[in-house]
């Protein structure tokens, strides 16, 4: 066998084979050549294959841009057609989506407001996403989080996914809004985010609500339904739906309002408060009781 191989190496370029070579030798040579060929081929394929598969993966179907001719010109900066990475919007891919953020303070009825808004089939409001400190550590952390929310890649119990017409979340003013307001304003301007400010008109009511709530927490933990200290305002809800250009729906919330009724019925030392505020710029808070 070694003999034959040596012979093969030395005379590799001699085309005519030795006359007396038996059939077996020829077969061996052919087999050897075949094995070599297959080996070389397999190496070549291995080297090429990552590139070819990458090329195949890069082929994407280019979607037709959505027809936005029924969106008014001034509105175009506020209308988006997100392409989420985590799912396909399918038949709603060309439903325009508006971005929003609800700014509020604790005990201002924002929880109640958000559940109402979320009862709309086309709205996803994802709650207090900036409750976690690391998400609001810097402007870039904030914008990353916002990008995910507005690309519909954020998942919460409120996410409706495919047929969203408005997506947003609730942002408490003490959750990085004041520290990073410039970067946030810039982002909102760029992306055309709708900002909804929700403030309790009656500051006195808000303060009493804060006190009442902490009193409740200590004394009678509430089971089951979460309760809010809020009075409803149907007209405002209609305004918000108009603002976000939503198809109009009756909105409902299962949250129950507590501590309703006039403040004087709830506050033991009401006379004292009355005396302090009377004649000051805050006097109206004594009377104002959630009429429009």
Ligand X SMILES: *[C@@H]1O[C@H](CO)[C@@H](O)[C@H](O)[C@H]1NC(C)=O
* Binding segment (CB under 6 A) for ligand X, from list 20-28, 148-156, 218-226, 229-237: 218-226
Judged by CB under 6 A, the residue of 182, 235, 247, 281 near ligand X is: 247
Q: Is 167 in the site for ligand X (CB under 6 A)?
A: no
Task: Indicate whether 121 belongs to the interface with ligand X (CB under 6 A).
Answer: yes
Rule CB under 6 A: is residue 123 a binding residue for ligand X?
Answer: no
* Minimum distance, C-beta of residue 243 to ligand X, in the bound complex (Å): 14
Pairing of strands 227-228, 123-125: unpaired
Name beta bridge partners: 102: 170, 196
Among 104, 118, 122, 228, binds ligand X (CB under 6 A): 122
Among 223, 225, 268, 281, binds ligand X (CB under 6 A): 223
Binding flags for ligand X, 64-83, as an x/- string (CB under 6 A): ---x-xx-------------
Chain-centroid distance of CA 164 in Å reads: 12
Contact indicator for 236, 108 with CB cutoff of 8 Å: no
Helix axis angle, 23-58 to 2-10, nearest 10°: 70
- Residue 124 host element (H or E): strand 123-125
DSSP 121: T
Which residues make beta-bridge pairs with 125?
A: 168
Q: Which residue is nearest to ligand X (CB)?
A: 163
CB of 160 to ligand X, least distance (A): 7
Site for ligand X in 136-165 (CB under 6 A): 163, 165
Q: Which listed residue (95, 156, 159, 233) binds ligand X by CB under 6 A?
A: 95
Cβ-in-10-Å burial (0-12, 13-18, 19+) of 192 comes to middle
* Secondary structure string (H, E, C) spanning 126-175: CCCHHHCHHHHCCHHHHHHHHHHHHCCCCCCCCCCHHHCCEEEEEEECCC
Q: How far is the CB of 65 from ligand X (least distance, A)?
A: 8
Instruction: Report in angstroms how near the CB of residue 71 gets to ligand X at its nearest.
Output: 10
Binding site for ligand X (CB under 6 A): 67, 69-70, 92, 95, 121-122, 163, 165, 220-221, 223, 247
């Amino acid at each position: 066998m070694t003999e034959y191989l040596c012979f093969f190496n030395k005379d590799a370029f001699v085309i005519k084979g030795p006359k007396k070579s038996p059939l077996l030798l020829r077969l061996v040579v052919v087999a050897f050549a075949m094995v070599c060929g297959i080996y070389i081929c397999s190496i070549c394929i291995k080297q090429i294959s990552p590139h070819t598969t990458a090329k195949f993966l890069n082929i994407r179907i280019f979607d037709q841009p959505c027809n936005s001719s029924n969106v008014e010109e001034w509105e175009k900066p506020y209308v988006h057609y997100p392409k989420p990475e985590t799912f396909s919007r399918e038949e709603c891919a060309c439903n325009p989506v508006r971005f929003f953020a609800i700014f509020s303070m604790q005990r201002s009825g924002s929880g109640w407001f958000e559940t109402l808004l979320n009862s709309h089939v086309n709205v996803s409001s994802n709650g207090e996403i900036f409750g976690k400190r690391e998400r609001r550590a810097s402007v870039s952390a904030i914008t990353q989080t916002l990008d995910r929310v507005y690309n519909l890649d954020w998942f919460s119990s409120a996410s409706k996914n495919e047929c969203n017409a408005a997506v947003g979340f609730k942002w408490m003013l003490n959750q990085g809004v004041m520290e990073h307001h410039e970067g946030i304003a810039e982002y909102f301007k760029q992306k055309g985010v709708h900002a909804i400010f929700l403030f309790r008109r009656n500051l006195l009511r808000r303060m009493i609500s804060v006190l009442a709530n902490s009193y409740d927490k200590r004394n009678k933990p509430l089971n089951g339904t979460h309760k809010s200290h809020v009075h409803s305002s149907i007209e405002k809800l209609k305004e918000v739906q108009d603002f976000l250009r939503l198809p109009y729906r009756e909105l409902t919330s299962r949250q129950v309002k507590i501590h309703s009724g006039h403040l004087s019925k709830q506050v033991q030392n009401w006379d004292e408060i009355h005396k302090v505020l009377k004649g000051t710029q805050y006097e109206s808070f004594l009377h104002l009781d959630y009429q429009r």
